[in-house]
Each structure stands twice: as structure tokens, then as C-alpha cells.
Amino acid sequence: NAGVTQTPKFRVLKTGQSMTLLCAQDMNHEYMYWYRQDPGMGLRLIHYSVGEGTTAKGEVPDGYNVSRLKKQNFLLGLESAAPSQTSVYFCASSYLPLYSNQPQHFGDGTRLSIL
Amino acid sequence: KQEVTQIPAALSVPEGENLVLNCSFTDSAIYNLQWFRQDPGKGLTSLLLIQSSQREQTSGRLNASLDKSSGRSTLYIAASQPGDSATYLCAKIQGAQKLVFGQGTRLTINP
């Protein structure tokens, strides 16, 4: 059982380049989330999805787009990368909403550097 | 303004000691509070989740408490071991999809 898998694990981009981060979960979870983790800032929610075909903005959505075409996959896109987007990106999933006492399952992260 | 604060940012103790990690939060209107562990280069692993109606939760050597009135939660680790070395994060669940994290406490247990 793989759980939550993030691809790639590391990436270096130049300013202005675009890329897509892939998150895949094999637990049949409805809810999926993208976070970024920066030193001294904790984790902040970028976008989330409450089911296939749905997406919604989180706390820091600017500069990112997402898609949830298949239930098991949640894609995070950077259309024009900026140095401020250098961060560690985490994907998480859960079967029920957060208030239902079901914990989230996290991937191991994608370390992204924008030069 | 930091909604969830963890102090200290780093803590180093000898093996075998009991220790307490602190988490304070603004706005007592929370659903639940969750403690996570993060190992270097890894994602987060959920340790304990305390519902807003509960005062504490226990799992093995870990005990987490929640005091909504004072806006505080503590994670107590008994008989610490080197394998407990990690960063510990607390997060308050404020809504269906709103999880607000603290900055974490980096814990080192010295053999």
C-alpha cells in the first residue's frame, strides 16, 4: 500500500519556467490538499479538493493552479515560477473532512528550488 | 500574526527524560487539535488528535492535552528515546478544510 506518493521528489527550475507536481493516493480518499512548508512559517494550505472534478483555494493560492481530473490524482501547477515559490510542497489526503476526526495522510514532499 | 505558536523552536534533552512540548493558539473556536511528527526529508505523521470536547488523548508514551479556555495544548513524551528525535508540529482544525499549523519544535534526544 503506497499511501500518498509525490512526483518528483526534487526539482530545480529557472524563473519563468512552468512545471506540474503530481500527487497520487491509493486509499480512495475524497479529500486532497496541497501545502507548502517554509522555514519559520509552518505549513500553509495552497489549494484543496473535496472530490473528483472539484478544487478550491486555500490560504496562499496565488501563482498556483490545480486540477483533480481523477479521484486518485491531484496536480499542482506553476505557470511561471518565481523565486518566492522555492519551498517544500506536501500533498495530503483524507477520507472525510478534517472535523470528522480522521487524520490526514501526507506524502514525503517535493523540494522545489527556483533560481 | 501567528495563529498557532510553538515554543521553544528547538529542544535537546538526555535520553530517558520526560518532556513537554507546548502549543498555544488564538481563537478558541476550534474543532480539534492535532499533533504531528516530521522526520527529516519526510512528510508528516499524525500522532494524536484531540477533539474539542476532550481534554486529553494518549498513545503509548505520548499524552496530549487540550485546554481551549487558555488556548493551550501540550504533548507529553515519557521516557524519551533517541528515536523520538524529530520535529513535532501542532495544528488546529478550524473548519472542514482549515488546518492551521504551528512552526514546530525540533526535538533532539541525546543518547
Angular region, A70: left φ>0, alpha ψ -120 to 50, beta rest: beta
The set of cell numbers assigned to A66 is 490545480
Question: Which pLDDT score, from 0 to 100, does residue B42 have?
Answer: 86
For B68-104, the pLDDT digits (tens) are: 888 999 999 999 999 999 999 999 887 777 788 999 9
Interface mutation vs chain B, best among A7, A34, A36, A43, most B CBs within 10 Å? A43
For A38-82, the pLDDT digits (tens) are: 987 789 999 999 999 999 999 999 999 999 999 999 999 999 999
CA closest to B47 among chain A residues: A103
Is A26 within 8 Å of A98 (Cβ atoms)?
Answer: no
For A81-92, the pLDDT digits (tens) are: 999 999 999 999
Q: Is the pLDDT of residue A1 over 60?
A: no
Question: Which pLDDT score, from 0 to 100, does residue A102 have?
Answer: 76
CA distance A87 to chain B (A): 13
